[in-house]
Amino acid sequence: MNKLIIAEDLMQEHEVKGYFEILRESVIRSRLTMTAVFFKLANSSQGTDIERHHVNHQISAFLKSKIRKTDLLFQLADGVHWGIFFLQSSEVEVKAFLKRIFAILKQEREFRQIALKASITEIRNNSVNFETLLEKNKQKLANSEQPTWSIEQITDYSEQPTEQVKVSIIEQNAIFRKVLETTLNHLDIPHFTLDVATYEDGYSFLQSDSYKTGHMHLVVMNDILPRKNGLEILHILREMPNEKKFIIYMMSERNSEGATLNAYEGGVDEYIVKPFNLRLLEAKIKRTFARFWL
Amino acid sequence: MKVFLDYCMWFFGGIILFYMLFVIVSYCTMFVIAMLVMRKRYKLDPSEYDDAHIDAFYSKPVSLLVPAYNEEIGVVDTVYSLLNLRYPQTEIIIINDGSTDSTLQTVIEHFRMKPVDKIVRTNIPTKQVKQIYESEIYKNCILVDKENGGKADALNVGINVSQYPYFCSIDGDSILDEKSLLRVMKPIILSDGEVIAAGGNIRIANGAKMHLGSVTETHLPNNSLVIMQIIEYSRAFLMGRIALSKFNLVLIISGAFSVFSKEWAVEAGGYSTNIIGEDMELVVNIHRLVRKKKEKKRIEFVPDPVCWTEAPQTLGVLRNQRRRWHQGLFESLWKHKTMTLNPKYGLIGFLSLPYFWLVECLGPIVELGGYIYIVVAFFLGKIYYEVAIMLLLLFVIYGVIFSIASILFEAWILNTYPRKRDLLRMILLAFTEIFWYRPLTLFWRCEGMIRFVLRRSDWGNMKRVGIAEKEKSV
Amino acid sequence: MIKLSLSFLLTVIVVLLVVLFIFTIYLLFQRQREIRFAEMRDTFLQNYSQHWYNYLINDEIFSIVLVPRQRAQVAAVEIIFSSYLKNIMNDKVEHKIKEFSNLYLKQFYEKDLASKRWSIRMNALYRIADLQIEDLLDTCQQFEKTKISEEEYFQLLKIYSLFQPELFIGKIKESSVHYSESEYRRLFVLLEDDVFIRLFEDFDSWTKNIQFAVIDTAAVKRNMQYIDKLKQLLIHEIPEINIRALKGLYEIGVIDEIDPYVPFVTSDMWEVRLMVAKIFKHVPLNYTYAYLEQLLQDENWWVRSQAAKTIAENKEGIAKLQQFMESSNDQYAIEMAQETVVRKQGNK
């Protein structure tokens, strides 16, 4: 007879369910990967009730002592599974975490009765619900051939959604404008599609209203522009309530420390002095976008 | 009586004829010099210099001073055009000269001005500064709020606040081309500071399409009065400025857009507050200083069109403007009368000042006399016809031919109005100049002179007029 | 006599009017040509800009359509090249532009150099330098032998500095023409380091403008090997050179010892003292405070102001200034310290 052993100070499956949806949605919105880990006792059927009870408590307490404040630890309803949601963490980080705690568990004498196995699910999209997640992980862990202390992976949800990014190029020189446009149109950034538009001066950009939508928006502009110059556009964009969605690259032919400093203080993400290397610009943009997802 | 009248007519006719010939010859000389100077630059690609000098390494930082008195409409556009200047290092100093309209508020709101504490060094004594603001958007943009003291006083405050070795004065209602500063600074940079002041070529903005500080298209305006002024500007530019500049004889560089070395301007005492033509006054004072210190310094005029300014559209405003200009000119010349023909001042004393006295200042009297002579001769009958006709022909050369020549020459070199129709219209209008525009301006200028003579006694309490009256020396 | 001059005047007027009339016709004709020229140039730009992009950036194969066949198309290619060179830094692109110019644009500029018009010749010289048309070096040297203006000679020097540094140094040595500092800077800034450093050899033989330009260019190049050269100039007998060297060292911003600078604290020239006050920005305050306090009580406003600023930039600077205000009795210095402290705190 398997009496369920519930640790009172631990979150329970049904309590976490509601949180999961919020966490999952915030993954999309904030572009911060979340990783779920499920543990199962590899030797759950052995030992007496009391022993099992003890082991259970030990695991709960141990896990609780190891997680960060941003991680959410809970126990599943069946009593032999534990789950942790690691917010803002990728699979790599979580794997390192698992390796670390497994090493401790294997080494310390007081934990010698404990044998665990784990499965990792990296979550980057919102096509997963709580039940399926549990189901899939339980299935993985149910496989009796899986050796103790091993780490399984579920990769079904690690694909991030493709996001549309608006790109505005504001540059007075028609030929260079075209060069930038072609270059950025050909830029291949995984999981982002770039929607490139060009403007010859600041005023026509502000007239276009394209910057008012909620999309992420990359602005590549010159500091000196006819009719509303770059610094003013910078100021207008950074004053908007959702200014965080703008990634602003400012190009300038003014090679003076003061001008650079002003631009960064005003809120540009990159200040590039002309002439610059196009490949460098591409790399910088790629890097900027790569940083968005863990 | 008849004999007396006869003598009078011959005498005056002779003087006027002689004078006209003299003026025509001197204009011709200047025109030829200007042509030689300008022809060299024809089709030269200026962008080469511009591009090379955009780097801070080659240029010198400049403080841009914008005095504003009741300029709530124009000042924002002016500041925009300054922000768009292609120049590596500038600071913009807007000086609110105790405006009674919302100039201060407009600037504060538009450029997010925040009050700051700033140490100001008083190089030139001025009226009280109330508060200094700094823009949150543009770190190099400063607003100074001060008590009303006139344009010259406002500029002096600007000089005190400025931190760079050169300053540039800009009227609160003019628009600059993005390369203006680069080009006006060019003689200064290339001469390693031998040129201590430089003025740009002022153009008339009426008819140009402008938006947020950028000139998008230039068309000839429809107003004949304005077209006449355009012709007048280009004539003054070709027959005067360029030639005078070549020999370091410039006495007027327009206050609407000119750069000065701060060191020299401060030593010359800054702008004088008790005179109408403060820009001319400063130039003359600097010339004096240069001669006194026996240094090899120059003041230059830059032929590139750089600064756009609104010209008066109605006779009334134009009359006011011209009257004041002339009064100012007379006043300045009178103040420095001891320099005239004074060997201490070299060519300035022997060429420049006499030129300004004879041609620019007293010219209107003689010319107006010529017009009156023609009318009188017509009533007196045949014997004076010949002199009258000769005078008339000289007026034709002086007015029509010179004007057309300037229009064509300017169109050839600078091509300000690229449309063919505009060019033809200007030429046609130039033919009418001697019949209406010329006599009118002559009359107004004489008025200015009379005002100068009458007002001489009440110098001290002469009322200051705001900058808003839009006066610019041609 | 009057009769004679009357008809004379009339003739003059008529002649002038005729001349002006002919000039007008010429001008209108000229304008028409300019419009046609601009149209052709713009068509070329419209049609081939993308081809140029593909060739320069995407490494597509060269196509003969890119070759300009007449002046308007040369103008278009010039616009394209200058847009690329001004905005993009890429060795491959530069190389391709150079190669192309040497092959297909050379003959146009060669012809321009023989033009009677000064401005046309100048434009050609600009392009030869910008587009690196090395093949015309010999032509340029021939051109030098003709009667040329100072401006043209300057452009030639620039061309030599790009293609033949040896020749350049030689020409500068023997040149009788003197240029301004900023012009010399333009010549020196593009020099390779090994050529540039040779300008420090027999430094005293150069004219003042060259000396100043060398110092300023060294500062802007920010190369460590120039620091020693500049430091050597600190003991030069001409004060202006000391000031420049100080300024250069300040701009490089690497101060490894303060001993060479200490004597300048008591210099007779306020400009020198000002520069020292500035240089001490780059040195920890505990090494320099004693000197800065001395400068804070300087007779010159600028020096006082700079000393106060330099002190205030340090973390403990404000405290030191406050301490100074309590102990000192130099009213001017106290005022300056006071203002600096207020300003520094106001900006926080």
Residues C216-253: tens digit of each pLDDT: 888 888 778 888 888 888 888 888 888 888 888 888 88
Out of B86, B89, B112, whose CB is closest to A256?
Answer: B89
Neighbours of chain A (3+ CB pairs under 8 A): B, C
Chain A: nearest CA to B345, how far in angstroms?
Answer: 42
By DSSP bridging, strand A151-154 and strand A116-123 are parallel
Contacts 24+ apart (CB under 8 A), C190-197: C190/C158, C190/C161, C190/C162, C191/C161, C191/C165, C192/C165, C193/C221, C193/C223, C193/C225, C195/C165, C195/C168, C195/C169, C196/C221, C197/C225, C197/C226, C197/C229
C86, B51: Cβ pair inside 8 Å? yes
- Considering only CA atoms, which of A3, A7, A85, A8 is closest in space to residue A39? A85
B43, C123: Cβ pair inside 8 Å? yes
**Torsion angle (degrees, nearest 10) of CA A27, A28, A32, A33:** 70
Where does the pLDDT of residue B154 fall: very low under 50, low under 70, confident under 90, or very high at 90 and above? very high
Tokens of B360: 């620019």
Q: Which residues of A touch B84 (CB under 8 A)?
A: 224-226, 229
**Do the beta carbons of residue A217 and residue A244 sit within 8 Å?**
no
Rounded Cα distance between A236 and A267, Å, is: 11
Q: Is B274 helix (H, G, I), strand (E, B) or coil?
A: coil
Out of C20, C126, C183, whose CB is closest to B404?
Answer: C20
User: Chain C residue closest to B119 (CA)?
Assistant: C339
- Considering only CA atoms, which of B401, B464, B463, B462 is closest in space to residue B434? B401
Encoded amino acid at C16, one letter: L
Dump pLDDT digits (tens) for C149-160: 888 898 899 899
Question: Interior CA angle at B102 toward B97 and B103, to 5°?
Answer: 45
Where does the pLDDT of residue B460 fall: very low under 50, low under 70, confident under 90, or very high at 90 and above? very low
Percent of chain B with pLDDT over 90: 26
User: For residue C346, what pLDDT is reported?
Assistant: 62
pLDDT at position C35 over 70: yes
Dump pLDDT digits (tens) for A193-205: 999 999 998 889 9
B84, A255: Cβ pair inside 8 Å? no
| Helix or strand holding residue B269 (H, E) | none
**Do the beta carbons of residue C246 and residue C271 sit within 8 Å?**
no
A193 close contact with B: CB closer than 8 A: no
**Torsion angle (degrees, nearest 10) of CA C180, C183, C189, C195:** -70
DSSP of A23-86, one letter per residue?
HHHHHHHHT--EEEEEEEETTTTSS-HHHHHHHHHHHHHHHHHHS-TTEEEEE-TTSSEEEEEE
Residue-averaged pLDDT of chain A: 86
User: Chain C residue closest to B417 (CA)?
Assistant: C31
| Helix or strand holding residue C69 (H, E) | none
**Do the beta carbons of residue C195 and residue B67 sit within 8 Å?**
no
Interface of B with C (CB under 8 A): 40-45, 47-48, 51-53, 57-59, 116-119, 121, 189-192, 386-387, 389-390, 393-394, 396-397, 401, 404-405, 408, 411-412, 418, 420, 423, 427
User: Chain C residue closest to A186 (CA)?
Assistant: C58
Average pLDDT over residues B265-281: 89
Rounded Cα distance between B134 and B306, Å, is: 27
What distance lies between CA A46 and its chain's CA centroid? Answer: 39
Q: How far lies C84's CA from each of A174, B91, C94, in Å?
A: 11, 30, 9
Chain C: nearest CA to A209, how far in angstroms?
Answer: 28
Rounded Cα distance between B13 and B18, Å, is: 8
Least confident piece of the model among A77-91, B366-380, C2-16: C2-16
Rounded Cα distance between C219 and C213, Å, is: 10
Q: What pTM does this model have?
A: 0.81
**Do the beta carbons of residue B177 and residue B50 sit within 8 Å?**
no
Q: Which of B80, B87, B91, B113 to mutate to test the interface with A (most CBs of A within 10 A)?
A: B80
Average pLDDT over residues C275-297: 87
Where does the pLDDT of residue A70 fall: very low under 50, low under 70, confident under 90, or very high at 90 and above? confident
Neighbours of chain C (3+ CB pairs under 8 A): A, B
C31, B116: Cβ pair inside 8 Å? no
Q: Which residues of B touch A203 (CB under 8 A)?
A: 211-212
Q: Which residues of C touch A252 (CB under 8 A)?
A: none
B140, A262: Cβ pair inside 8 Å? yes
| Helix or strand holding residue B178 (H, E) | none
B45, C123: Cβ pair inside 8 Å? yes
Dump pLDDT digits (tens) for B328-341: 889 889 999 899 89
Tokens of B58: 């080659």
| Helix or strand holding residue B176 (H, E) | strand B174-176
A229, B83: Cβ pair inside 8 Å? yes
Higher pLDDT, C328 or B426: B426
A226, B54: Cβ pair inside 8 Å? no
Q: What ipTM score was computed for the predicted complex, to two decimals?
A: 0.80
User: Chain A residue closest to B140 (CA)?
Assistant: A262
Rounded Cα distance between C294 and C272, Å, is: 14
Rounded Cα distance between C136 and C295, Å, is: 56
Interface of B with A (CB under 8 A): 54-57, 80, 83-86, 88-89, 112, 136-140, 178, 211-214
Give C262's DSSP letter. Answer: G
User: For residue B469, what pLDDT is reported?
Assistant: 40
- Give the highest mean pLDDT range of A129-133, B69-73, B468-472, C96-100: C96-100
Q: Is C239 helix (H, G, I), strand (E, B) or coil?
A: helix
| Helix or strand holding residue B461 (H, E) | none
Interface of A with C (CB under 8 A): 173-176, 178-179, 182-183, 251, 253, 274-279
Other C-beta atoms closer than 10 Å to the C-beta of A42 total 19
Phi-psi region of C253 (alpha: psi -120 to 50; beta: other; left: phi over 0): left
Average pLDDT over residues C40-53: 92
A224 close contact with B: CB closer than 8 A: yes
**Do the beta carbons of residue A33 and residue A293 sit within 8 Å?**
yes
Rounded Cα distance between C301 and C289, Å, is: 19
User: For residue B458, what pLDDT is reported?
Assistant: 41
Q: Which residues of A touch B209 (CB under 8 A)?
A: none
**Do the beta carbons of residue C98 and residue C56 sit within 8 Å?**
no
Chain B: nearest CA to C138, how far in angstroms?
Answer: 23
Higher pLDDT, A9 or A249: A249
What distance, in Å, lies between the first and last C-alpha atoms of chain A?
Answer: 44
| Helix or strand holding residue B298 (H, E) | strand B298-309
- Considering only CA atoms, which of B145, B168, B150 is closest in space to residue B78? B168
Residue written as token pair 């030829």: B32
C8 close contact with B: CB closer than 8 A: no
Dump pLDDT digits (tens) for B388-439: 888 888 888 888 899 999 999 888 887 778 788 888 999 999 999 888 999 9
Rounded Cα distance between A218 and A285, Å, is: 9
Please, what's the largest Cα pairwise distance for chain B? Answer: 79
Q: How far lies B208's CA from each of A3, B204, B215, B224, B412, in Å?
A: 90, 8, 7, 15, 20
Q: Which residues of A touch C57 (CB under 8 A)?
A: 179, 182-183, 278
Q: Which residues of C touch B56 (CB under 8 A)?
A: none
**Do the beta carbons of residue A149 and residue A119 sit within 8 Å?**
no
A238 close contact with B: CB closer than 8 A: no
DSSP of B96-151, one letter per residue?
EES-SSSHHHHHHHHTTEEEE------SS--SPEEEEEEESS-TTEEEEEE---HH
Where does the pLDDT of residue A46 fall: very low under 50, low under 70, confident under 90, or very high at 90 and above? low
Rounded Cα distance between B20 and B30, Å, is: 15
Q: How far lies A95's CA from each of A41, A83, A117, A143, in Å?
A: 18, 14, 12, 20
What distance, in Å, lies between the first and last C-alpha atoms of chain C?
Answer: 86
Chain B: nearest CA to A187, how far in angstroms?
Answer: 30
User: For residue A8, what pLDDT is reported?
Assistant: 56
Neighbours of chain B (3+ CB pairs under 8 A): A, C
Where does the pLDDT of residue C80 fall: very low under 50, low under 70, confident under 90, or very high at 90 and above? very high
User: For residue C125, what pLDDT is reported?
Assistant: 92
User: For residue C293, what pLDDT is reported?
Assistant: 86
| Helix or strand holding residue C290 (H, E) | helix C285-296
A175, C45: Cβ pair inside 8 Å? yes
Where does the pLDDT of residue C164 fall: very low under 50, low under 70, confident under 90, or very high at 90 and above? confident
Q: Which of C58, C81, C87, C97 to mutate to test the interface with A (most CBs of A within 10 A)?
A: C87
Phi-psi region of B117 (alpha: psi -120 to 50; beta: other; left: phi over 0): beta
Rounded Cα distance between B145 and A294, Å, is: 51
User: For residue B95, what pLDDT is reported?
Assistant: 94
Q: Is B66 helix (H, G, I), strand (E, B) or coil?
A: strand
A224, B84: Cβ pair inside 8 Å? yes
Q: Which residues of B touch C220 (CB under 8 A)?
A: 57
Rounded Cα distance between B83 and B90, Å, is: 9
Rounded Cα distance between B11 and B336, Å, is: 31
> B309 — phi, psi (to 5°)?
-140, 150
Average pLDDT over residues A236-263: 86
Percent of chain B with pLDDT over 70: 93
Least confident piece of the model among B171-175, B225-229, C286-290: B171-175
Chain B: nearest CA to A232, how far in angstroms?
Answer: 7
Chain B: nearest CA to A174, how far in angstroms?
Answer: 16
**Do the beta carbons of residue C275 and residue C247 sit within 8 Å?**
yes
Residue-averaged pLDDT of chain B: 85
